[in-house]
Amino acid sequence: MSMRRFSTFRSLQKATEEVVNVLDQAPNRASTWSHSQASRASVIKHAKFLQKDLSKQPRAPAAIELIAKEPVRFVNDRIAVCQGNKGHGQGHPKVYINLEAKRPHSCGYCGLRYAMESYKDEI
């Protein structure tokens, strides 16, 4: 009898861990990264997710964490040009970024960071 309770407890514990992992926002991020973003826990209550095995749904890593790992790109000019995903499918329009302040500036579309080469030691 006690062995049956133990196995039920272990299976319940395992199921709880799986639910917690499915409710994380992304594999590499537990919470939302924008105020307007709905949490995964609230979204999966919608009708289209009923009777679905959520463990089989694709779970891409959060891009915000991946972009943060990208190094700052240093440019010799005062203005950087970000052309998006050049040559790899659809990217974003060409964006000109003013780099006069002594800090990295990010592209508004993709989040890549740029700075002037002369500020490299200060950043």
Q: Is there a contact between 79 and 98 (Cβ–Cβ < 8 Å)? A: yes
In a shared domain, residues 49 and 77: no
pLDDT at 28 (0 to 100): 74
Query: Which residues span the domain enclosing 25?
Result: 2-59
| 23 occurs within a structural domain | yes
The overall pTM is greater than 0.85: no
pLDDT at 15 (0 to 100): 47
| 64 occurs within a structural domain | no
pLDDT string in tens for the chain (123-residue length):
455 555 555 554 554 455 555 667 777 777 777 788 887 777 777 787 777 777 777 777 777 788 888 899 999 999 999 887 666 667 788 899 999 889 999 998 888 999 999 988 887
